[in-house]
Amino acid sequence: MAGEPFIAPIGVMLASPVTIWILAAVFAVVAGAALVIAGLSLTGAAAPAMRRELRLRLLSWCWLLPLMFGPVLAGRVWTIAAVTALGLLCFREYARATGLFRDWVIIGAVLLGVLAVNFAVLDHWYGFFVALWPLTVGVIAIASIPVDRPAGYIQRSALGVFGYMLFGAGLAHLGYMANDPGYRPILLMLMATVALSDVAAFTFGKLIGGPKLLPATSPNKSVAGALGALATTTAVVAFLAAAVFQGTNMDKPHWLVCFGLIVGIAAQAGDLMLSSIKRDIGIKDMGVTLPGHGGVLDRFNSLLLVAPAAFHFIGYFVGFGLQQPTRLITGG
Amino acid sequence: MMDWQLKPARDLGLSGRDRLRSLSREPGLPAAAIAFLWRRLLRGYLALFHGLRVSGVEHLPPPPFVLIANHASHLDALTLSAVLRGAAARRAFVLAAGDTFFTSLPMAAFAAHAINALPIWRRRTRSSDLTTLRMRLLEDRLVLVLFPEGTRSRDGAIARFQPGIGALIAGTAVPVVPCWIEGAFAAWPAQRRLPRPGPLSLRIGAPLRFETAENGRAGWETVATACEAAVGDLAPGA
C-alpha cells in the first residue's frame, strides 16, 4: 500500500497470535526432527542411506523455511515477489519436464501472462487479475499460429494453458491475499498445513499401511495415509481458522470444518496431480533444486490447488483487502 | 485416447553445475535470449574492430550441418557463430576444449550461455560422447561448429585434421561446410592474452557429404582427409 515500509516492523509481523503459534510450531518441529536424526545417527538405528536422505531433507528445510516465511513476514511486496518467483521456478520445471520449453513462442506467452497476473496483484486491481485468465488463454492460443506449424498445435497450446493456470493464475491467488492487512496468519496457516498434510499422509501410511490409494499414479500412497492426512489437516486448519476469522461470518463450526476439508482435499489433489504428470512423462522428480525433495514443484505441488480454493472460500465470507486502496500503480 | 509427444529436456535431473558441462544441454527461452544478445554484440564488435568480410553465405544449408574451419585463434569460434542466422544460429553449438573453457565455473557459465559451447575433453573423449553428439546432430537438427585440428595453431599454419569429425557424420546425410578464416591469427594468436584490431575475412565453401563413408576408423580418416583438403583449398593463394 502507499507508504508501506520497506520491511514491516516486528509488531506488525507478529500482530496475530496465530502467526506466533505457527512460527513456534514450525521451529519446534524442525528442532525435534534435528534431534531425532541426531539420535538415529548416534544409535545407528536407521540405515545410513535413510539417515542421509533425512539429513538432506532437513538441511533443505533449513534454508527453504526462511525463504518461504521471510517474505510473508516482511510485507506485501515481498510476498508478491516471492510468489512470482515461485511461479516462474515451477513453470520452468514443468516446461522442461513436458518438453514445452522447446516452444519458445508459447513459453513467451505464458511468461507474459505470469508476469501480468502478478502485476495485477501488486497493483491491487482485481478486475485485471480476473480478466487475465481468459485473456492469457487467448494469447497462448494465438501465439503459435503465425509460426504456421499446425502439427502439435493442440498439445503445445494445452500445455501452455495448463501451465499458466497452475503457476500463473492459480498461484497468484496466494500473492493476492497479501493485499489484505491481515494476510500473514492466513498464508502461514496455508503453507504450514499443506506441509503438515504431506507429513501426516507419510506418517499414517507408514503406521497403518493397508491398501494403496492409486497404485498406478503414486505407488507409495495408501488409503489410510490419505484419510489420516485429511482428518489431521481438516482439524488443524479448522482450529487455526477459528482464531484467524474470529467474529466474521466464517466463524461457524460447519464453515470452519468445510474450509479445513477444502484445504485438505486440495492439498492431496495437488500432490496426486503432480504424480500424474510425472507418471505420464515417465520421470521420478521434476528437478534437483532441493536436495532430498527433488524439484521446486515436488515441494510446492500441494499448494497449487489450495491457493485458488482457499482464496475464494475466504473471499465468499470475508474478502481480501476490501477496505484497502486499489489500482495502486495504474490508478494514477 | 491421444498419445502426446511429451519429450522431457535431455538434461532433466542435472544440477545447474552439471548442466553447463553436459553434452545433453538444451537451452530454453532465457538462455536463447542471452545467446541472441551476445550474438548481436559480437557482430557489432567483429564489424567495428575487424571489418569482418564474409563470402559464400549461400553455401550454408538448412540445419543440421557441421561447420568446420582452420583454427588459429579464439576469434575463430566467435566469427563462425556470429555469421549464422535464423534457425541455424538458434541451434548452433560450438565444440570447445573442456580443459580451456570448462574447468572454472565462471568460464563454463560464460562459454555455455554466450557461445553455447559444449565441452570436448582432449585425449580423453569417450566414444559415448561422440555417439551422443552424433545422435543429437541428427535428432535435434543441430549445427555443430568445430575445429578438426583439435587445437589452435601456434604459427598460423593449418595442422592435420583429427578423425573425430568423421565419427560425427560418416554414413549420415549431414553436410559438412568447410570455411577458411583469414586474419584471426594476426589479430589474436594463442600467445596473446587479448585481441588487437585487424582485418578478418571468412570464406565459406560448398558443403561436403559423406553418406557413403564407412562409420569406422578407416571411414573417419577418409572424412578427415577430405575435410582438411576442402578447408585448405579455401585458403588465399591455394
Task: Report how many domains make up chain B.
Answer: 1
A98 chain-B contacts, CB cut-off 8 A: 6, 8
List the B201-204 sheet strands across, edge first.
B53-55, B201-204, B176-182, B65-69, B143-146, B92-97, B117-120
> What is the pLDDT, as a whole number, of residue B41?
95
Provide, as residue numbers in chain B, all residues whose Cβ is less than 8 Å from the Cβ of A60: none
For A201-215, b/e burial (b = at least 16 CB within 10 A) is: bbebbeeeeeebbee
Residue A311 has what pLDDT?
98
Could you give the percent of chain A with pLDDT greater than 90? 83
Higher pLDDT, A288 or A132: A132
In a domain, B155, yes or no: yes
Contact A288 B14 (CB under 8 A): yes
Residues 55-84 of chain B with CB under 8 A from chain A are none
The alpha-carbon gap from A312 to the nearest alpha carbon of chain B, in Å, equals: 33
Our CA-based measurement puts residue A102 at a distance from the nearest CA of chain B, in whole angstroms, of: 6
> What number is the average pLDDT over the span A52-79?
92
Helical (H) or strand (E) element with B39: helix B29-50
Most confident region among A220-234, B8-22, B99-113 by mean pLDDT: A220-234
Polymer length of chain A: 332
Nearest CA in chain A to B6: A98
Looking at residue B8, its pLDDT comes to 94
According to the model, what pLDDT value does residue A41 have? 84
Label residues B212-229 b or e (16+ Cβ within 10 Å = b): ebebeeebbbbbbebbbe
Reported as a pLDDT band with limits 50, 70 and 90, residue B76 is very high
- Judged by a CB distance cut-off of 8 A, whether residue B1 touches chain A is no
Residue B7 lies in a domain: no
Dihedral pair phi/psi, residue B77, rounded to 5° = -65, -40
If pLDDT is split at 50, 70 and 90, which confidence band does A53 have? confident
- The CA dihedral of A156, A157, A161, A164, to the nearest 10 degrees, is 60
Peptide bond into B64 cis (omega under 30): yes
Q: Hey, are the CB atoms on B28 and A288 less than 8 Å from each other?
A: no
Q: B26 at the A interface (CB within 8 A)? A: yes
Shortest distance, CA A159 to any CA of chain B (angstroms): 10
Average pLDDT over residues A7-17: 93
Residues of B in contact with A285 (CB under 8 A): 13
DSSP string, A12-33: HHT-SHHHHHHHHHHHHHHHHH
Print the domain residue range for B137. 20-233
List pLDDT tens digits, range A257-301. Answer: 999 999 999 999 999 999 999 999 998 888 777 777 788 999 899
CATH of the domain at B61: 3.40.1130.10
Q: How much is the mean pLDDT over chain A? A: 94
Residues 6+ apart with CB under 8 A from A236: A193, A196, A260
Query: How much is the mean pLDDT over chain B?
Result: 93
Q: Does some domain include residue B146?
A: yes
Chain B residues whose CB is inside 8 A of the A298 CB are none
Report the distance separating Cα A141 and Cα A160, nearest Å. Answer: 9
Residue B61 lies in a domain: yes
Query: CA nearest B196: which of B181, B185, B206, B209?
Result: B185
Would you place residue A15 in the very low, low, confident or very high pLDDT band (cuts 50, 70, 90)?
very high
User: How far off is chain A from B34, nearest CA to CA, in Å?
Assistant: 14
Q: What average pLDDT does this structure show over A39-47?
A: 83
Cα of A314 vs its chain's centroid, Å: 16
Cβ neighbours for B227, distance < 8 A, ≥ 6 positions apart: B68, B148, B161, B165, B176, B178, B208
Which among B5, B15, B28 has the least Cβ separation from residue A96? B28
What ipTM score was computed for the predicted complex, to two decimals?
0.89
Predicted confidence (pLDDT) per residue in B95-153, tens digit:
999 998 999 999 999 999 888 999 998 877 788 899 999 999 999 999 999 999 999 99
Residue B68's DSSP bridge partners are: B146, B178
pLDDT over 70 at B67, yes or no: yes
Q: Is residue B12 part of a domain?
A: no
pLDDT at residue A239, as a whole number: 97
d(CA B43, CA B48): 8
Chain B: nearest CA to A234, how far in angstroms? 35
B221 touches chain A (CB under 8 A): no
Poorest-confidence range of A45-49, A119-123, A218-222, A270-274? Answer: A45-49
- Whether residue A1 is predicted with pLDDT greater than 60 in this model: the reply is no
Bridge partner list, B96:
B119
How far apart, in whole angstroms, are the C-alpha atoms of residue A143 and residue A156? 10
* Gap between the Cα atoms of A105 and A146, Å rounded: 10
pLDDT-based confidence at residue A197 (cuts at 50, 70, 90): very high
CA gap B182, A95 in Å, rounded: 43
pLDDT at site B74: 94
Closest-CA distance, B114 to chain A, in angstroms, reads 18
Residue A2 pLDDT > 60: no
* Chain B partners within 8 Å of A281 (Cβ): 6, 8
Q: What is the pLDDT of residues B157-210, one digit of tens each?
A: 999 999 999 999 999 999 999 999 999 999 999 999 999 999 999 999 999 999
Is residue A305 exposed (0-12), middle (13-18) or buried (19+ Cβ within 10 Å)?
Answer: buried
Report if residue B138 sits inside a domain: yes
Residue B6, chain A, CB below 8 Å: the answer is: yes
What nine digits make up the cell of A10?
A: 516486528
Contact A96 B6 (CB under 8 A): no
- Please report residues of B whose CB lies closer than 8 A to that of A97: 8-9, 12
List the one residue out of B184, B180, B146 whose CA is nearest residue B165.
B146
Q: Does B32 touch chain A (CB under 8 A)?
A: yes
Mean pLDDT of A47-63: 86
The verdict on residue B6 lying in a domain is no
In DSSP notation, A296-322 reads HHHHHHHHHHHHHHHHHHHHHHT-SST
Q: What are the respective helix, strand and coil percentages of chain B, to the nearest 5?
A: 40, 15, 45
Domain ranges of chain A: 85-177, 182-332
Q: Tell me which of A88, A102, A115, A280 to substitute to probe the interface with B (most B C-beta atoms closer than 10 Å).
A: A102
User: SS3 of A293, please?
Assistant: coil
Whether residue B66 has pLDDT greater than 60: yes
Of the candidates B36, B142, B92, the residue with the CA atom closest to the CA atom of residue A108: B36
How is residue A269 written as a grid cell?
489433489
